[in-house]
């Protein structure tokens, strides 16, 4: 019984009368992978790029006097902007320096 099972497992599948069936199976596999790639692009990659561009424009349009909210939840007003950092005034005598990337929300002077 054991040797019969091992012989059956080692034999290749019968090719049958349709020799082109393997080519059709390969084509459907390629089409399936292309469709998965298209869905991945439309559902994940493209929206992520759009959010990234919006974030870059948000950080690029910050000006002195804009009200901001940082990722740690600190609210304040921008008093100075450098290349990579901003100085945020959180009260009359308190200013904190943050990385620009830590800003999550900007309320411009025009919006307020």
Residue 85: pLDDT band (50, 70, 90) is very high
pLDDT digits (tens, 9 = 90+) for 38-79: 999 999 999 999 999 999 998 888 999 999 999 999 999 999
Q: For 89, phi and psi rounded to 5 degrees?
A: -90, 120
pTM of the model: 0.59
**Structure token pair of residue 106:** 């900007």
The residues facing 99 across adjacent strands are: 85
Answer yes or no: are the C-beta atoms of 69 and 28 closer than 8 Å.
no
16: left (phi over 0), alpha (psi -120 to 50) or beta: left
Question: Which of 54, 86, 84 is closest to 70 using CA atoms?
Answer: 86
For residues 22-29, average pLDDT: 77
């Amino acid at each position: 019984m054991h040797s019969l099972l091992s012989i059956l497992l080692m034999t290749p599948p019968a090719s049958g009368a349709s020799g082109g069936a393997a080519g059709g199976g390969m084509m459907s596999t390629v089409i399936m992978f292309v469709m998965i790639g298209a869905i991945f692009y439309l559902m994940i990659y493209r929206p992520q790029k759009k959010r990234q561009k919006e974030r870059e424009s948000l950080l690029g349009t910050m000006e002195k006097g804009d009200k901001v909210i940082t990722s740690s939840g600190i609210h304040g007003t921008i008093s100075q902007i450098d290349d990579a950092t901003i100085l945020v005034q959180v009260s009359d005598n308190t200013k904190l320096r943050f990385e620009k990337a830590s800003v999550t929300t900007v309320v411009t002077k025009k919006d307020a």
